[in-house]
Structure 1
Amino acid sequence: MTQLHYDVVIIGAGAAGMVCAIQAGYRGLNVLLLDHAPKPGAKIRISGGGKCNFTNRRVEPKHFICANPHFVKSALARYQPEAFIEWVERHNIAYEERDNGQLFTLEGAGQIVAMLRTELDWAGVELQLNCDVVAVIKQHETWSISTSQGQLTSAKLVVATGGLSYPKLRASDFGMKLAKQYGLEVIPSRPGLVPLQMPARQRAWWSDLSGLSLEVAVTAQRGPRFEGAMLITHQGLSGPCILQVSNYWQPGEPISLNLLPDVKNVAEWLLDLKQNAQSLSGALKQHWPKRLVQAWQTKFEFDDHLANYTQLRLDQLGTSLTAWSIYPDDTAGYAKAEVSLGGVSTDEVSSKTFETHKVSGLYFIGEVLDVTGHLGGFNFQWAWASAHACAQDL
């Protein structure tokens, strides 16, 4: 650290922290951005399979989970995807649009980190890495911050420390602990966008099918319906639609699988198969991997000759195919989670400035807040938008 006092200290050099620092720096503020990790933007680097799904063209409040669903509206409206896309284009970063408006870099997530590092330099932000925060105390109108690299003070403090997902990247609960230190409510954290594990007694069946993928529609007892690929793993289920529904699943509750989402009326489809004396396995192989057809028929004891089925049995088959209730017993934990649910309660923070109501000069942005986006670039857009809104008030 080159000096002892700053206008703003931002703790956490991830997506939200870097963008907030850049925008505050461009406003002429003297900014220190610090992080305990050896490199900034660690989660950006590994996101999107290394390609970084940096935003989505169609961002709406319904794509976010928050105890107060109205909280996200202001920040999202003031910093829309086009603003970040323009930034990416200005740095000549090639990108592509995939399903449902998702935008990915073509040449790797490191380009987004490099872009932000360049902007930090241009904005005159001081970046301090490998720097642990030991203590934070507010004295009158000044923040006193003890770190592993010395003591410093600042007029304002922004916490952008993220959540507990990806512990290998040195994720921590620092932000939530600091919030509690100052009497702020914190919603308990849990893994989000995470694979689901099946009970141990059932894992042998799933393990035998490990590696198979198929298109499904899935719902939890609360929350929306998600369609997409489901991947069977040694311990249970993964794939985009399972990660999505994991945000809404609660232990002890089932999820419901529609294994034929592309068949509009399964009852009519089955009746037509029966009337044409077609086999069940032959019909299912048009939609599923062969190994799954054999294992699923054996598991549910549905014989192959649909001509033998009564209407009652045909109805039971239809229910099994379109509303199969299964009971996961756990998630794969923070090590496999893309985000953390929960965090600092949005009731404690201004939706316009992100300053806390109880403590002046203290701000929380990004994943450390109780805001979690769906899969598809929404969590990055929340990071950019909350950082932008906060920076305007510093």
Structure 2
Amino acid sequence: MDEGALRALVPRVLAALVRRGEDFDAAEDALQEALLEALRVWPEHPPRDPRAWLATVATRRLVDARRSEAARCRREETTYAEPRPAATEEGDDTLFLLFCCCHPDLAPASQVALTLRAVGGLTTREIADAFYVPEATMAQRISRAKRTLRGASMDRPGDLAVVLRVLYLVYTAGHAGRVDLAREAIRLARQLTLATGEPEARGLLALMLLNHARLPARLDAQGRIVTLDRQDRSLWDTREIAEGVRVLQSALALQRHGRYQIEAAIAALHDDAACAEETDWSQILAWYDDLVALSGDPVRQDPAAVLGRAVAVGHVLGPAAGLRETERLRDVLGERHRWHAVRGHLQELAGDLPAAGTSYAAAANLATNVAERDHLIRQAARARAAVP
């Protein structure tokens, strides 16, 4: 059995163990021992049913661990009957485990790490590489998460909104390290949509697909960021776009619009344009109006949405109107690099290149992401060089 097929079995077996009441941490440890045994035994004696084999061996390890603990504590040894295999569907198992990893007692960073470890099957080193932290730091984070779940009630795992947020955090973590986290998030989102009919789950999958389709054009040959309006659209993955549109349409048809569906609709309009000049900014502005309306205090709760709307206003009603929108946001968002970057874009759109150069430079000074900061520095240099 290849590594990919073996990795796919791990969350299913772990979910079955946890579902029947096993401690999360102990179940994962037992499954890891079963995997090591599989690597030793399977090459010469492959099982007929790999999933059942792993579940059986992991269960025996759990029984052995209980007996060992009982002996150390000088208690009477208790005999544990091996429970019957869970009779749940594979999709339900994955969904159950995903929700457990998003348990409300866990911090968001721990939810993301545990999801990648338990559901995604990534190693601790792979997760650490993806988030630019030492392996020991990530190991401690995952261990704390599992300790938090020890004894926690699994009848109140994280709700769907939390699961979707965690998957989106995984996706937006980027493509660093040895594992493409965006592809991993898409894989998990696909499994989630198979297990629930909620339109926001489909909306998130559509959003991921429509954004991921542009990945081949997002960086130039030197690894530098290429903005959407300057990307070579012939490099976009048209199959991924088509799939994203189909998924989005199926979600919107349910008439229960949420933020992921709306963001996916905006992404679809960008993807549908053959060139930047053909972008339907009027429809994009209408969707941004709907997105901003979802929040009671959008400026503080959803600054990305209000800044995106300001850009759309600039393209529909003119850059001066867009800049007036940003002025209304200055008191709250004026210290954020994206506010200055949006100002630079609108000023460049208006032909005020000196002001655009100043705004891009201010954005670069506030940016924390190295690639984005370098991009903004180049934007500032380009605007200043174009000044007569």
> What TM-score, normalized to structure 2?
0.25
**TM-score, scaled to structure 1:** 0.24
The structure whose residues are more often strand, as a share, is 1
- Greater relative contact order (CA < 8 Å, ≥ 6 in sequence): 1
